[in-house]
């Protein structure tokens, strides 16, 4: 009953209407931008991009020759390698832009060559990545399905592009709008005292508000994504690619403090499986973010202070994330896994590429964020109880 009341309260509020408009409006603008500036790159744009990247490579090569510090030299070498890979892929894209089959055949040969090179040098991470890419493209060629991600904006490319920060950004914005006043408004309007007279446990009141926030945020974010996915898939006729391999979940073994991929224990994911896992990952992030926003809302009697505190936490974690990865203390490194905005990194178990100190998988990220959720929700309940006694 309490949950139903909270959902009704959110649905009738102006904040929900604002959140709905922002969610739909943001997705429309994003699709327009992606279609015009990301997916439909002209031939002249690609040539210019290749030229600029090759200039960057030459500049880095000059710096590499002059540099004496071994660590900085290694960093330059990695950057040069990554930029060369991008140049090769863009050249293939330009060469076969009107022939997707030829493009995929060219990419298959490219990844096979990169895999063989990585095998010779003993670069396990590059070895695995290139092997899987080669397998994916080879499977698609056998099936005569020449789907290429980032070729056009369709339902699949829209949904997968949400993995890289887009979904995280909109979740934060919607959580801020819906959750910032979910408890603080009770203090402000003086209704918190009235809630005490109801035959409901104080814990149930806070928990109902938390669950209502999670349901409404999920409905807005994931519901909108599903609608846009279906519409774009129908427009571009991309449903026929549901069984095309897109990503993979890999397994790792630990040797000392280093993590190495087990190349023969890999699960290829179809576009459909990747999409389902993305939605599951988003729900976990929504739970964690909702828990924190409800916590701050229970502390402050003003929604503005709740919003400021919440934004400050997000900004601090964002700034310190990369620095946390360099910290030697393993426990502190775990903080970098809070609120992962690159969702595809989570649902593909690809975190060991960044964390060479522990067996880090989807379960670590999900477990950490669920633990965070429990801590903040329980904290919210205790604060709400204490404030009622004052």
Domain boundaries, the chain: 2-40+152-389
Residue 120 has pLDDT above 50, yes or no: yes
Taking the C-alpha atoms of residue 325 and residue 199, their distance in angstroms, rounded to an integer, is 48
Name the pLDDT band for 197 (thresholds 50, 70, 90).
low
Taking the C-alpha atoms of residue 135 and residue 105, their distance in angstroms, rounded to an integer, is 12
In the chain, the percentage of residues whose pLDDT exceeds 90 is: 24
Which sign does the torsion angle of CA 373, 375, 376, 378 carry?
positive
Q: Tell me the per-residue pLDDT of 126-171, one tens digit each, with 9 for 90 and over.
A: 787 788 888 888 988 998 888 876 677 899 999 988 988 899 999 9
Taking the C-alpha atoms of residue 279 and residue 260, their distance in angstroms, rounded to an integer, is 28
Residue 255's φ and ψ, nearest 5 degrees, are -120, 105
Residue 361 has pLDDT above 80, yes or no: no
Residue 390 has pLDDT above 50, yes or no: no
Q: Tell me the per-residue pLDDT of 89-99, one tens digit each, with 9 for 90 and over.
A: 788 777 776 78
What value, to the nearest 5°, has the Cα angle with vertex 384 and ends 382 and 390?
105
Taking the C-alpha atoms of residue 368 and residue 107, their distance in angstroms, rounded to an integer, is 37
Name the pLDDT band for 199 (thresholds 50, 70, 90).
low
Q: From residue 237, how far is each of 152, 231, 234, 350, 357 by CA, in Å?
A: 12, 10, 5, 30, 44
Q: Tell me the per-residue pLDDT of 12-22, one tens digit each, with 9 for 90 and over.
A: 889 899 999 99
């Amino acid at each position: 009953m309490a949950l139903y009341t909270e959902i009704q309260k959110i649905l009738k509020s102006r904040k929900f209407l604002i959140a709905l408009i922002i969610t739909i409006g943001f997705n429309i603008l994003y699709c327009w931008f992606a279609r015009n500036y990301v997916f439909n790159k002209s031939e002249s744009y690609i040539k210019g991009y290749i030229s600029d990247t090759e200039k960057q490579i030459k500049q880095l090569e000059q710096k590499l020759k002059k540099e004496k510090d071994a660590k900085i030299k290694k960093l330059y070498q990695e950057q040069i390698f990554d930029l060369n890979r991008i140049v090769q892929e863009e050249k293939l894209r330009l060469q076969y832009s009107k022939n997707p089959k030829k493009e995929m055949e060219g990419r298959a040969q490219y990844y096979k060559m990169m895999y063989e090179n990585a095998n010779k040098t003993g670069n396990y991470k590059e070895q695995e990545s290139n092997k899987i890419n080669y397998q994916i493209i080879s499977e698609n060629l056998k099936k005569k399905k020449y789907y290429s991600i980032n070729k056009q904006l369709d339902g699949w490319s829209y949904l997968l592009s949400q993995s890289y920060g887009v979904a995280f950004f909109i979740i934060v914005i919607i959580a801020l709008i819906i959750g910032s006043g979910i408890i603080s408004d009770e203090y402000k309007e003086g209704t918190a005292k009235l809630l005490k007279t109801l035959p409901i446990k104080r814990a149930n009141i806070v928990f109902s508000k938390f669950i209502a926030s999670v349901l409404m945020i999920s409905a807005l974010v994931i519901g909108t994504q599903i609608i846009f996915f279906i519409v774009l898939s129908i427009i571009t006729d991309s449903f026929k690619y549901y069984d095309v391999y897109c990503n993979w979940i890999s397994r790792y073994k630990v040797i000392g403090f280093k993590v190495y991929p087990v190349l023969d224990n890999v699960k290829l994911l179809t576009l459909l499986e990747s999409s389902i896992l993305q939605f599951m990952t988003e729900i976990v992030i929504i739970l964690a973010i909702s828990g924190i926003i409800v916590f701050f809302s229970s502390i402050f009697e003003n929604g503005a202070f709740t919003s400021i505190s919440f934004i400050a936490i997000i900004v601090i974690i964002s700034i310190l994330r990369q620095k946390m990865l360099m910290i030697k203390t393993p426990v502190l490194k775990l903080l970098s896994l809070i609120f992962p905005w690159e969702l595809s990194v989570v649902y593909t178990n690809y975190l060991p590429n960044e964390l060479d100190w522990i067996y880090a998988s989807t379960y670590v990220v999900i477990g950490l964020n669920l633990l965070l959720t429990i801590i903040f929700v329980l904290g919210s309940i205790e604060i709400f109880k204490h404030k009622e006694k004052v």
